[in-house]
Amino acid sequence: MTHEPAGIEQKTQAFLDRQNHRMLIDGQWVDALKNKRMQVVNPAEETVIGSIPSAHSDDVNKAVGCAKAALEQGAWGKMRPSGRQNLLLKLADLIERDARIIAELEAIDNGKSAAIAQAVDIGLGLEFFRYMAGWATKIEGSTLDVSMPFAPPEADFFAYTRREPVGVVAAIIPWNFPFLMACWKLAPALAAGCTVVLKPAEQTSLSALYLGELIAEANFPDGVVNIVTGDGQSTGSALITHPDINKISFTGSTQVGQLIGRAAMDNMARVTLELGGKSPMIVLEDCDPEKAAQGAAVAIFFNHGQTCSAGSRLYVHRSIFDTVVNRLAELAEAIPMGPGLDPAAQMGPLVSQVQLDRVCHYIETGCQEGARLVTGGERADRKGYYVKPTIFASEDDSLVIAREEIFGPVLVAIPFDDVDDVVERANDSRYGLAASIWSNDLSQVQRLIPRLKAGTVWVNGHNMLDSNVPFGGYKLSGVGRDMGKQSLDSYLETKSVFMAL
């Protein structure tokens, strides 16, 4: 059965009709100073649908300068916490009003389902602005009793800490959840009172630019949020090396994260890095095979596997291995594929030709390495960068496809016999973003949780996220946390004040 893509909202069409999009610096919509541009591609159609400015170091310098001025000289720095709270709440209302439009832009630019994006990406994003709006008025320091043993007994002191915004933030985000990642960075930075230069991924900048319009409509002072577009090489690197950047918040590949971490240290910029993963899903002997198969399908195929926490290594107890893997293959084969605007489609194209080539290369590698291809394993026979949901099975988890992050709809299922052994194998990865355990044996589960080296451990679920729950990685999966109060804290400095009375 084929489904005709639904029509799009007038406002979405009007936004797309502009074709040559502009970026936001100091409240103005501008082209790059050198007038260079990059193409915007619709991955379902493989067609160019417009262009974005390709910002150079001059543009980045201007944006950072404006962000600094907005922090130090403008109304923002003097604004009371409740003022920031109200702006964030206003912005969340505008996002809610335009949720469908943003979801459609996401579908057209990234390839994901508009219906899923509206519920998940946009839904979580606006909820996160509301959550962080609450924190804006609850920032606090402490009063500290001091002993000062070397001071004379009659001397008196008073010490306290105050939390202050870390300063100008560079936020660099990836293409897999373009809108949600912008929210993850902007909401805590703004709640804390920082100003921001946001660089969306060059493949998917449209929803961030639309968000820029809502930020202007909400009446944030000019220069508080600046959005520069362009690639990593020229735009991103100009941003991360700028001496006036006080914090870099990055989500993306481990390779670029390492580079950003080193650049940050040159200026002692604070840094939050949310990087790659190869997250294990561990299905214990007592788990209902149907539940495990359904869970694994969500763990790996949500967002077409382009999720840093994707459950890409599926460890299943040998006694139920075949049942789970065969059922998972049935589920994979039944996933309706189609463009993001098709309301029936659950899986769209990958984001780009580059990503398609990369995923197909890993699939070839898996076959060459001798893994058993259970289902999928090829590009779908249609226009667009579609890859069929792919499942490999192997006894050997030292294969490249079981170790490297593929960032596509490709899973490796591995049987295990012994719980101690599976913990060791699950931890034998350079990554440590997330893991999930599937079992109703609470004692066993509780014993396993502390042993897994991962920033998040899910039990009987995978990819569960909430504004109040920190998210981030152990090992090469990153530094620091997004979401939760911990994320707010990472946009604040602690100033100690010590007075002799």
Catalytic residues: 274, 308
Q: Which is nearer to ligand ADP, 194 or 197 (CB)?
A: 197
Cα gap 272→170, rounded to integer Å: 10
> Near ligand ADP by CB under 6 A, which window of 60-68, 208-216, 235-243, 360-368?
235-243
> Near ligand ADP by CB under 6 A, which window of 48-56, 95-103, 133-141, 231-239?
231-239
Q: Which is nearer to ligand ADP, 106 or 202 (CB)?
A: 202
Q: Which is nearer to ligand ADP, 237 or 486 (CB)?
A: 237
Do the beta carbons of residue 318 and residue 418 sit within 8 Å?
A: no
> Residue count at the site for ligand ADP (CB under 6 A)?
16
- 138-176 residues labelled b (16+ CB within 10 A) or e (exposed): ebeeeeeeeeeeeeeeeeeeeeebebebbbbbbbbbbbb
Binding mask 161-180 for ligand ADP (x = CB under 6 A): -----------xxx------
- Residue 290, classed as helix, strand or coil, is helix
Counting contacts by CB under 6 A, is residue 237 touching ligand ADP? yes
The minimum distance between CB 150 and ligand ADP, in angstroms, equals 48
Cα gap 341→63, rounded to integer Å: 34
The minimum distance between CB 268 and ligand ADP, in angstroms, equals 18
When binding is defined by CB under 6 A, the residue of 108, 186, 209, 240 that contacts ligand ADP is 240
Binding mask 105-134 for ligand ADP (x = CB under 6 A): ------------------------------
Interface of this chain with ligand ADP, residues 189 to 218, rule: CB under 6 A:
199, 201-202
When binding is defined by CB under 6 A, the residue of 193, 232, 472, 480 that contacts ligand ADP is 232
The minimum distance between CB 397 and ligand ADP, in angstroms, equals 24
Counting contacts by CB under 6 A, is residue 300 touching ligand ADP? no
Whole-angstrom CA distances from 484 to 83, 126, 349, 466 are 21, 14, 31, 8
Q: Which is nearer to ligand ADP, 143 or 233 (CB)?
A: 233
The minimum distance between CB 306 and ligand ADP, in angstroms, equals 8
- Written as six digits, the tokens of 429 are 């990865």
The minimum distance between CB 130 and ligand ADP, in angstroms, equals 26
Q: Which is nearer to ligand ADP, 253 or 326 (CB)?
A: 253
Whole-angstrom CA distances from 40 to 55, 107, 204, 351 are 15, 13, 8, 11
Cα gap 8→118, rounded to integer Å: 13
Q: Which is nearer to ligand ADP, 128 or 250 (CB)?
A: 250
Strands 492-500 and 157-165: antiparallel
Quick one: CA dihedral 452, 366, 476, 481, positive or negative? negative
- Written as six digits, the tokens of 200 are 């969306």
Q: Which is nearer to ligand ADP, 15 or 177 (CB)?
A: 177
Task: Please give the full DSSP string across 419-486, using - where no structure is assigned.
Answer: HHHHHHHHH-SSEESEEEEE-S-HHHHHHHGGGS--SEEEES-SS---TTS-B--EETTEES-BSHHH
For residue 491, which of 275, 272, 274 has the smallest C-alpha distance?
272
- φ/ψ of residue 311, rounded to 5: -80, 85
Angle between helices 81-97 and 206-217 in degrees, nearest 10: 130
Counting contacts by CB under 6 A, is residue 231 touching ligand ADP? yes
> Which residues lie below 8 Å from residue 199, measured CB to CB, with a gap of 6+?
55, 170, 171, 172, 173, 227, 228, 229, 230, 235, 236, 239
> Near ligand ADP by CB under 6 A, which window of 214-222, 230-238, 391-399, 433-441?
230-238
Binding mask 244-263 for ligand ADP (x = CB under 6 A): --------xx--x--xx---
> Which residues lie below 8 Å from residue 389, measured CB to CB, with a gap of 6+?
300, 301, 332, 333, 335, 347, 375, 376, 409
Q: Which is nearer to ligand ADP, 110 or 118 (CB)?
A: 110
Interface of this chain with ligand ADP, residues 398 to 437, rule: CB under 6 A:
none
The minimum distance between CB 274 and ligand ADP, in angstroms, equals 11
The minimum distance between CB 352 and ligand ADP, in angstroms, equals 8
Binding mask 316-335 for ligand ADP (x = CB under 6 A): --------------------
How many separate helices (H) and strands (E) can be counted in the chain?
Answer: 18, 22
Q: Which is nearer to ligand ADP, 193 or 232 (CB)?
A: 232
Task: Please give the full DSSP string across 144-194, using - where no structure is assigned.
Answer: E----TTS-TT--EEEEEEEEE--EEEEE--SSSHHHHHHHHHHHHHHHT-
The minimum distance between CB 245 and ligand ADP, in angstroms, equals 11
CB neighbours (10 Å) of residue 222?
18
The minimum distance between CB 192 and ligand ADP, in angstroms, equals 22
When binding is defined by CB under 6 A, the residue of 50, 193, 236, 295 that contacts ligand ADP is 236
Question: Where along the sequence are the contacts to ligand ADP (CB under 6 A)?
Answer: 172-174, 199, 201-202, 231-232, 236-237, 240, 252-253, 256, 259-260
